[in-house]
Amino acid sequence: MPEEIKRVEKLDEVVISKAIIEGFMKDFLNYLEVDVAIAGAGPAGMIAGYFLAKEGKKVVIFERKLSAGGGMWGGGMMYNKCVFQETSKPILDEIGIRISKYQEGYYTTDSLETVSCLCSSAIKAGAKIFNLISVEDVMIRENRVSGLVLNWSAVSLANLHVDPISARAKYVVDATGHDAEIVRIITRKIGKKLLTSTGELLGEKPMWAEVAENTIVENTKEVYPGLYAAGMAANAVYGGPRMGPIFGGMLLSGQRVARLILDALG
């Protein structure tokens, strides 16, 4: 005898729609005023969100794309493995990402497992990720970044003329990767006012994994009052090289930015 299939008494499409809209609006309204707003849900942004939320801070991450994870999904040249070095192992262990030792000092992970664990850990720690939303500008008050200006990514994709809305934050993190999009907005609109040697964005240098993986952590700092750069954006701002498909520096940079902001928040 086949098992009896349990039937749900009633399913109303409009109730389903209301559940989505009301649930989303509740979240969205709640996260328009936060301790930390992060642009970009790549590895650096998500791990920063994880460490900040873990300490009880109210954190929101806005991600332009449908999926979080940035440049991690494809490993190196679409071979879906990520490489990590020894120093990043404690973070991988904390997040519960399984690692394989390749040789002394080199570990590999499955890139899909890595992204999903980072994303799930950040969210479970309390960071809220909104996907499909692009940061298109910043708010500045008294020479300090005080929030992000947001629009649906679909608006720019469709080239629509639609005004954005704004979210206020005590601190903002540019974790947008190679393009350092939020820092570029400052240079474009405010001029040579960055906390770099020239006041300008110094630009990413050619591939050199060993140097890049160290400088990325040093370069993770305040770029303009109220605005920090993390991940590849930090090397782009301070003239560090790229490192290719080794990802430990991204996690260490995300952890460092969280520590710096936790100190600043007091």
Residue 136: which of 154, 148, 146, 145 has the closest Cα?
148
Nearer to ligand 48F, 144 or 242 (CB): 242
How far apart are CB 229 and ligand 48F at their closest, in Å? 9
Give the tokens for residue 107: 């570990």
How far apart are CB 178 and ligand 48F at their closest, in Å? 6
CA distances from 34 to 31, 41, 120, 124 (A): 6, 17, 20, 17
Nearer to ligand 48F, 71 or 147 (CB): 71
Nearer to ligand 48F, 39 or 125 (CB): 39
Measured over the CA atoms of residue 243, residue 119, residue 87 and residue 225, the dihedral's sign is positive
Interface ranges with ligand 48F (CB under 6 A): 39-45, 62-65, 70-72, 134-135, 175-177, 181, 231-233, 242-247, 250
How far apart are CB 44 and ligand 48F at their closest, in Å? 3
Ordered alpha helix ranges (H), the chain: 13-30, 43-54, 89-95, 111-125, 153-157, 181-190, 209-218, 232-238, 248-265
**Share in percent of the chain as helix, strand, coil (round to 5):** 40, 25, 35
Query: CA 84 from chain center: how many Å?
Result: 19
Nearer to ligand 48F, 22 or 27 (CB): 27
Nearer to ligand 48F, 84 or 196 (CB): 84
